[in-house]
Amino acid sequence: MTSLFPDLLRAVITDIMLILILSTMATPKYKSKTLYILSTAIILVVNVSINYYFYLSENYTAVFYADFTMLMMIGIVLKPLFTDKIMQWCFSYITMLNIYEAVVFLSYIFSDIFPNPAYGNVFLRLILFLVIVVVFHKWVSKPYRSVLDYWYIYILPIVTLQACFLGYLFGGNIEEMLVNNYIPLMLLVLLGLSIYVAIIHSLKTITKQYVMREANQKMQAEREYLQLAAGNMSQRLELMEEVSAQNSRAAHDRRHFNNVLLGLLEQEKTGEATALLQNQNQMTQKISRVYCENPAVNAAVCHYAALAEQAGISTEIELDIPRELTVDSLEFSMVVSNLLENAIQAHGRITDDTKLYLRFACKSVGRLLLEMENPCGSDTALDENGYPFANQKDHGIGSKSVIAFAKKYDGELIYNIENGVFRVRLLV
């Protein structure tokens, strides 16, 4: 029995390590470890019991065939315990076989450097398997999951590698096959290592390039939307500048008017002062309101509030926007303009007697919190990302520029449609 101990120990270590490797490569279906430990114990008992008979006669060729057959059974029995798809599981299973055959070869060939080759073989297997498990768990696990997603690209070289291993290991005495095919098997081990390293490295490189390209495309698209929105804002800015100029002229005229009125009152010419006030009320044009301290945003709001009133839309606007913002004032004024313009256009698609209104509020609470609400037509919808759906060509540019603005400043943009009411909330 003492002479069989190294063989039995080697069998136990091999079975446990192979199941551990397979469990590391695949994704367990159940959280409880008890089921997996029980399965490992059953496989271990069955395999060691079978191998014990062949160890008695020192028939290591039969041991290798029995182990290989047991591995085939493991691939079938353990599959229901993991979530991987069938071809992903096959990819991991073939990889496990490649690892097993490489470790069997290396541990046998280099066991002679130890005083006791039998225990040297056991020690080498344990070390090789542990190195593989640790390397896979710490550095290879995440990219390997990506490899499984593209198994159809990489499965051919690993199947070919497995076929080459079997060609040198089957068909004769296993010990003679290992010794006689020392050079080709060593080359196969190095080739297998190169194949898996190349697969992991290539996929990591391709994935990194894809992520960078996708990020660049998104940045380019967002930049184009902002530029396009800026181009469409040229006419709006002219109107805003005109409104601002009117406000400046009105303020200048009001200062002179106040001086004249003050002079008449000081001279106690109340009749002339009364007549001047009456005349001023008749001739003074309606002056735009000051909604907030920020000139660009205020000009935009003045312009679209006037358009809303002309369209018969009642407005409720409450703004607390400081002169200096943490975001670009012009870009934010474009966002406000696009949202107000979209809200006004939405009223034009309402065909029933729904009350037309527009509520717009914005507060500065360290960050800008913007909220807008208006009724909308039944055809208004959101896409799968929760953004307004443009059902006509060349429409939706304004919404896309708002989305680009939110992404640029890492903001929170939420659209909602409920009971015929369209709401948008932006936090930047």
What is the residue extent of each domain of the chain?
2-213, 288-427
The answer to whether 362 and 321 have CB atoms below 8 angstroms apart is yes
**Are the C-beta atoms of 326 and 369 separated by less than 8 Å?**
no
* Tokens encoding 153: 């690209």
Contact 240, 180 (CB under 8 A): no
Predicted structure pTM score? 0.53
Q: Which two tokens stand for residue 349?
A: 């698609």
Q: What is the pLDDT of residues 198-237, one digit of tens each?
A: 888 877 777 777 677 767 766 766 666 556 555 555 555 5
- 338 closest CA partner among 368, 372, 367: 372
Q: Report, as an integer, the average pLDDT of 34-46.
A: 88
How far are the Cα atoms of 34, 75, 168 from residue 31, in angstroms, in the given order? Answer: 9, 20, 40
Residues 6+ apart with CB under 8 A from 143: 200, 203, 204, 207
Nearest-10 crossing angle of helices 151-169, 141-149:
100
Cα three-residue angle 420-426-427, rounded to 5 degrees: 150
Question: Which one has a higher pLDDT value, 393 or 68?
Answer: 68
pLDDT digits (tens, 9 = 90+) for 237-286: 555 555 556 555 556 566 666 776 677 677 777 777 777 677 766 554 44
Topology, domain 288-427: Heat Shock Protein 90 (3.30.565)
Q: Which residue type sits at 345?
A: Q
**What CA–CA distance (Å, rounded) separates 199 from 157?**
10
Residue 374 corresponds to which tokens in the numbers above? 């208006």
Question: What does the pLDDT average to over 7-26?
Answer: 89
Average pLDDT for 323-335: 87
Sheet containing 357-364, strands listed edge to edge, beginning at the edge strand earlier in sequence: 314-320, 357-364, 368-375, 421-427, 412-418
User: b/e string for 228-249 if b means 16 or more Cβ within 10 A?
Assistant: ebeebbeebbebbeebbeebee
CA triple 62-65-67, angle to 5 deg: 110
Other CB atoms within 10 A of residue 356 CB: 18
Instruction: Copy the structure tokens of residue 13.
Output: 């270590």
Tens digits of per-residue pLDDT, 366-388? 889 999 999 988 888 888 888 88
Q: What is the pLDDT at residue 1?
A: 47
How far, in Å, are 22, 263, 397 from residue 94 at the CA level? 10, 101, 51
Q: Are 415 and 384 in contact (CB under 8 A)?
A: no
Residue 401 confidence (pLDDT) above 70: yes
Reported as type and span, the H/E element at residue 346 is helix 329-348
Q: What is the DSSP letter of 85?
A: -
Taking only the tens place, the pLDDT of each residue in 276-312 is 677 766 554 444 578 998 888 888 898 899 889 888 9
Q: Is 15 helix (H, G, I), strand (E, B) or coil?
A: helix
> Which residue reads 């660009």 in tokens?
296
Cβ-based burial of 343 (10 A; exposed 0-12, middle 13-18, buried ≥19): buried
Per-residue pLDDT of 142-190, as tens digits, reads: 788 778 888 888 899 999 999 999 999 988 899 899 999 999 999 999 9
